[in-house]
Amino acid sequence: MKFNKKYLTERGKFTYFILKNLYENNSISRKLFYLYINKFEGGQFYSTTLRRIFKEIKNIDVQLGTYGCFTEGFRPNVKIGAYCSIAPGVQRLVGNHPYSNISTYPLFYSKDFGALESSRYAEQMLVIGHDVWIGVNAIITGNVHNIGNGAIIGAGAVVTHDVEPYSIVAGVPARKIGTRFSEPIQEKLDQSKWWELKPDQLSSIAEIANQPEEFILKVNEILGENADD
């Protein structure tokens, strides 16, 4: 049986409408939603429906492969790259209490309390790069606007400033304790853009992931073949 494009488009819209309602209605219907995406869309790792819902509802933009961020701990206005690993309990705090005010109470700076027409401090976007690993119960404060590609944040860390690409930070407050790769390797990784590969393509070179130079060469070969197609 053949279907025209209009029918398929309308069918897709209807399916999305049903799934979005399942997600939003209550905890029971949300379980049904996750049963569906786990069976048909690869779960939170690859589900386009889950990503679309989070983008529309929370302005959280999540790329392919990333997991662990589809929770209440992630507040709105976040952009997350591909293949990031986010452990349970990670939170992003967005509310700063200005200590230079007469009081730190939100009535004096947030419109939500009705005293002001607009909030005095705009909520900033948080951009998380590709291949970022954030450990269990880490806290990202409102002062953080950028976490670079390949960064690692240790479990329980309280991050109060931007994190450089491929750096390892830990502690309270979080401090840099190491770097994953030399600068030449970092540059080659960024230039390769390996995170643009699909999961099946990455699976074909997973065995050499512990050999950065060889891995990068293979990525460049695959992307070169894709460009020729």
**Angle (deg, nearest 10), helices 5-25 and 48-58:** 60
Token representation of residue 51: 């990503």
Amino acid at 223: L
Q: Has 97 been annotated as catalytic?
A: yes
Partner residues linked to 179 by β-bridges:
167
What's the CA gap between 74 and 164, in Å, rounded?
Answer: 21
Which of these, 96, 145, 149, lies nearest to 125 by C-alpha position?
Answer: 145
SS3 content of the chain, % helix, strand, coil (to 5): 40, 15, 45
Residue that has been written with the tokens 């491929």 in this structure: 166
d(CA 146, CA 75): 15
Which SS3 state, helix, strand or coil, does residue 91 take?
Answer: strand
Three-class secondary structure of residue 98 per DSSP: coil
The residue among 50, 56, 51, 60 whose CA lies nearest residue 123 is 60
CA atoms of 190 and 165, how far apart (whole Å): 10
Set 97, 130, 145, 161: catalytic member: 97
| Catalytic machinery residues | 97
